[in-house]
Amino acid sequence: MKSGYESNRRSIRVKNKYIRWLYEELPKLIDKGVLSSESAEKIRKYYGEVPERSGRKIALIVFSILGTILISGGIILLLAHNWKDLSRFTRTILSLLPLLIGHGLGIWFLSTGRTSVAWREGISTFLTFAVCSAISLISQTYHIPGDMGAFLLTWMLLSIPLVYLFNASLPCIIYFVGITFWAGYEQEVGGQALLFWPLLGLTIPHIYSAVKKNAYSGRSSLMGWTLSLCLCVATGITLEKAVPGLWIIVYSALFSVMYLVGSYWFGQTHSVFQQPYQGVGASGVVILSLLLTYEFPWDDIGWGYYRSGFCYHPYAAWADYLLVLILFAAAVYLLVISFRRKEKRRILFGIMPVIALFGYTLSAFSNQEIVPRLLFNLYMFSMGLGALVLGIRTLDMGTVNGGMIILAILILARFFDVELTFVERGLGFILVGAGFLVTNIILVKKAKKGGG
């Protein structure tokens, strides 16, 4: 099933192909006297400029980006070798040289009013790495202590304006990864990484403008994948974890929000690459649900196990509560919309935080993990089965396969679950299998009745 968006793009591609052919023919037609040069000019004026073949354009952008990354990486590696025979003055010049070259290219690009994406992405990426190599070589020359946090933060803050000045997305992608690493380092050395959120906030105008222009373009999708994956990592890092188990609600809400945001605002395509938020959100919901069918996430959670000590900052713990509130409220808001519109698939993935909150409250107050675990087994089963039925009804093989994968994961997990006895597992499997067969028989009978 092709969406309107895709068929529209296809028709534009075909139209451009014929216009390009016509333009190639025009000189021959003028030569043979079929067409006057004035008429040919009129034709050109009428159809206007044909955009370059998209494949060629993409190749140009990709090669410029790859070339820049390789050259910049090469410069960093060459400088990292530590050329002991070079004087401090030569090293100073060398450390600033890539920056100066990048600035020269930037001035040339901006002053000539060029708009090429390849140059834009290439120069800004080169400058991003040039900042890194300059700080690195100076650190090496003067034996500056290995404070990776300060190094990453300086690098990222000096690079982020490039995203806006060049309207470039690759430096933005590098920035996502950079601030995630920074957050990881800060938390690792006993600090806290709450600054991650304002730092991430600096990229919102760029993401918004890219998505507004085209939510399915290569840059929007690539940024979407990096952002959603970095969010998965950084959310866990920035959590202070003073109240054990809050991550269950935070992550279930995060994945549900990602899935619902993706399906509401990025759902007009069938390409998996163009659906980063749905992809990461749905995978997150499934993987987290599977984890929550085990005992360990439910052990010793809730207020009764509040953690304190030099590693825990009470003010950062408040950020955890705020994050829970914001993410949960967003998830519930989107879920209510799904309920109102009776969108079953969205309800299936969006309801997870509600179940997680129920399970968490139960486990925190009654210290028992059986009910939450059973709930998540049931949830995963309904999710798989629901997707399967929905896929069969709408003849969408992707959804059918998705449902099958969810069920297969759950079945495999329970088959090898050593916490249950062989008899329990055997009986459970037979009961579920019988349920499938009975449902099948009922469906066939209903179909026959309906048909005859």
Partner 1 sequence: MKKTKIIFICFLVLAIIQIAVPLSMIVRREMTLKNGKQYKFKTAPVDPYDAFRGRYVALNLEEGIVQVNRTGEYHRGEKVYAVLKEDEDGFAKIIDLIHEKPESGDYIKTRIRYNTQSGIHLDLPFDRYYMNEEDAPVTEALYLKFTRGDRRDAFITIRVKCGFAVLEELYIQNKPIGQFLEEEKKRQRVSK
Shortest CB 82 distance to partner 1, Å:
5
State the Cα–Cα distance between residues 121 and 133, nearest whole angstrom.
18
Q: Please work out the total of residues on this chain that contact partner 1, with binding judged by CB under 8 A.
A: 44
Rank residues 128 and 235 by Cβ distance to partner 1 and give the closer one. 128
State the Cα–Cα distance between residues 328 and 326, nearest whole angstrom.
6
C-alpha separations of 343 from 257, 337, 385 in Å: 15, 9, 16
Rank residues 158 and 409 by Cβ distance to partner 1 and give the closer one. 158
Considering only 45, 81, 340, 448, the residue that binds partner 1 (CB under 8 A) is 81
Rank residues 163 and 323 by Cβ distance to partner 1 and give the closer one. 163
| String of contacts with partner 1 for each residue 287-326, x by CB under 8 A | -----------------------x----------------
Query: According to DSSP H, which parts of 269-396 are helical?
Result: 276-291, 314-340, 344-350, 352-366, 370-394
47-69 CB burial, b ≥16 within 10 A, e <16: eeebeeeeeeeeebbeebbeebb
Shortest CB 366 distance to partner 1, Å:
37
| String of contacts with partner 1 for each residue 105-124, x by CB under 8 A | -xx--xx-x-----------
Determine if 125 is a binding residue for partner 1 (CB under 8 A). no
Determine if 138 is a binding residue for partner 1 (CB under 8 A). yes
CB proximity list for 3: less than 8 A, separation 6 or greater: 268, 269, 270
Considering only 14, 62, 80, 329, the residue that binds partner 1 (CB under 8 A) is 80
Shortest CB 134 distance to partner 1, Å:
4
State the Cα–Cα distance between residues 36 and 212, nearest whole angstrom.
43
Considering only 19, 127, 174, 388, the residue that binds partner 1 (CB under 8 A) is 127
Burial class (CB in 10 A: 0-12, 13-18, 19+), 233: middle
- How far from the centroid of its chain's Cα atoms is residue 213's Cα? 18
Shortest CB 205 distance to partner 1, Å:
14
Considering only 3, 16, 139, 283, the residue that binds partner 1 (CB under 8 A) is 139
- Tokens read off for 238: 């920035």
Task: Provide Rg for the chain, Cα atoms.
Answer: 28
**Which of 11-19, 55-63, 80-88, 395-403 is the region at the interface with partner 1 (rule: CB under 8 A)?**
80-88
CB proximity list for 359: less than 8 A, separation 6 or greater: 248, 292, 298, 371, 372, 375, 376
State the Cα–Cα distance between residues 208 and 220, nearest whole angstrom.
9
3-state helix, strand, coil in the chain (%, to 5): 80, 0, 20
Rank residues 16 and 154 by Cβ distance to partner 1 and give the closer one. 154
Shortest CB 113 distance to partner 1, Å:
6
State the Cα–Cα distance between residues 292 and 270, nearest whole angstrom.
30
Rank residues 122 and 281 by Cβ distance to partner 1 and give the closer one. 122
**Which of 138-146, 275-283, 402-410, 442-450 is the region at the interface with partner 1 (rule: CB under 8 A)?**
138-146
Shortest CB 71 distance to partner 1, Å:
16
Q: Determine contact, residues 115/163, Cβ cutoff 8 Å.
A: no
Measured distance between the N- and C-terminal CA atoms of the chain, rounded to whole angstroms: 30
Closest by Cα among 194, 192, 153 to 175: 153
- Residues 32-61 contacting partner 1, CB under 8 A: none
Determine if 145 is a binding residue for partner 1 (CB under 8 A). yes
- How far from the centroid of its chain's Cα atoms is residue 123's Cα? 25
Considering only 14, 70, 144, 412, the residue that binds partner 1 (CB under 8 A) is 144
Q: Determine contact, residues 76/132, Cβ cutoff 8 Å.
A: yes
| String of contacts with partner 1 for each residue 147-186, x by CB under 8 A | ----x--x---x--xx--x---------------------
Determine if 84 is a binding residue for partner 1 (CB under 8 A). yes
Shortest CB 111 distance to partner 1, Å:
6
- Tokens read off for 117: 């994406």
Considering only 11, 37, 39, 82, the residue that binds partner 1 (CB under 8 A) is 82
Shortest CB 217 distance to partner 1, Å:
21
CA angle 281, 287, 291 (to 5 degrees): 135
Shortest CB 139 distance to partner 1, Å:
5
Determine if 70 is a binding residue for partner 1 (CB under 8 A). no
Rank residues 34 and 80 by Cβ distance to partner 1 and give the closer one. 80
Which DSSP string do the residues of 377-438 spell out, in sequence order? HHHHHHHHHHHHHHHHHHT-HHHHHHHHHHHHHHHHHHHT-TTS-HHHHHHHHHHHHHHHHH
Considering only 14, 59, 100, 326, the residue that binds partner 1 (CB under 8 A) is 100
Q: Which residues bind partner 1 (CB under 8 A)?
A: 76, 79-84, 88, 92, 95-96, 99-100, 103, 106-107, 110-111, 113, 127, 131-132, 134-146, 151, 154, 158, 161-162, 165, 190-191, 310
